[in-house]
Amino acid sequence: METSVFKPFERHAVVDLWRRCNLIVAWNNPNRDIDRKVAHSPENFWVGYVDGVLIASVMFGYDGHRGSVNYLAIDPAYQGRGYGRQLMEAVEGQMQSWGCPKINLAVRSTNRQVLAFYEALGYKTDPVSSLGKRFEDDDPVF
């Protein structure tokens, strides 16, 4: 898999990938998420290609205390081939180069397949509660 920084012409393919991976929920408008990431830190939004086909994406960042990863997606037709591991290793390497001591992930508790993927990479459930507060209501996607 070859990775590169997201480019605007890839938007439709990325949103379609996220749909196929069940990453889009009604309260997160994917186009707004892309717009915000591109406005804030576009260099930390990567896509992956195999034979000219966009099959992967990841958004990540580091706030000086913890790293975060969002929208890690591998096309279902390409899962199980090591592409997710490859992408996470590249993200982890980037974060380590910044001096990041830890990555935090948010995975829906019902997504057993993705939880198992991260556990196989050495991630563990932290004894913390995840809290959130919305500042705006995204337009419903569904």
Tens digits of residue pLDDT in 58-112:
999 999 999 999 999 999 999 999 999 999 999 999 999 999 999 999 888 888 8
Phi, psi angles (nearest 5°) of residue 79? -70, 155
**Band of pLDDT at residue 142, cut at 50, 70 and 90:** very low
Task: Give the CB-side neighbour count of residue 8, counting CA atoms within 13 A.
Answer: 4
Q: Pick the closest to residue 85 from 111, 44, 120 (CA basis).
A: 120
**Among 54-58, 73-77, 115-119, which is the least confidently predicted range?**
115-119
pTM as predicted? 0.90
Per-residue pLDDT at 81: 97
